[in-house]
Structure 1
């Protein structure tokens, strides 16, 4: 079971700025990598994942979206969602 975590952001997005240190804390706590992607340079992903807002955090298992968070997600909720698939 391959788990991938993606976080889509945009430059100047205040929620994205707030999300970034939360992502780093979760990475450290769980030993995972959260891949940061600029939504405007990954335009194919906008349609593929139905992105509407930034930040959006996706937890994919075997390339299938299992968890989706639109807007800022707090550390506890993000960790809980990721732990289900580790």
Structure 2
């Protein structure tokens, strides 16, 4: 079981995707960071698996936090965001949802979306 460490060296790095544990966890991630790209995914989803290395690269290359929500484990949370298919990507800027896209987007398009909101 993971323990939460909000500050200090034990806090989870933003250079790799953050696995969302609960709706409140997602809310705190969106509130604490300027730009957050949330990937609603499923382990059985082929396109999601193709997108995973792209998101890992963006996590290390950009200032955005990449958060991952397993729709099978967090069905109510996926429903709250109107997720009808996976992958669905939701972009938050300054704590507010600003974009939502269903399907795989190329790395350069995702990078452009992040940079658009990263002041």
TM-score, structure 2 as length reference? 0.65
Query: What corresponds to 2:103 in structure 1?
Result: 71
Q: CA RMSD in A?
A: 1.6
Report SS of the residue matched to 2:73.
Answer: coil
CA distance in 2, matches of 1:34, 1:8: 11
Deviations 1:2-54 (Å, cap 9, x if unpaired)? 32221011111100000000101112221332111101111222222100111
Q: Mark the runs of 5 or more structure 2 residues left unpaired by the alignment.
A: 1-32
Paired positions, count? 86
CA distance in 1, matches of 2:59, 2:117: 14
CA distance in 1, matches of 2:85, 2:38: 14
Question: What stretches of structure 1 move > 3 A for 4+ residues in a row?
Answer: none
CA distance in 2, matches of 1:39, 1:47: 9
Residue of structure 1 aligned with 2:113, choices 78, 81, 85: 81
CA distance in 2, matches of 1:47, 1:2: 24
CA distance in 2, matches of 1:60, 1:31: 13
Say which structure is richer in strand. 1
Residue of structure 2 aligned with 1:10, choices 24, 42, 46: 42
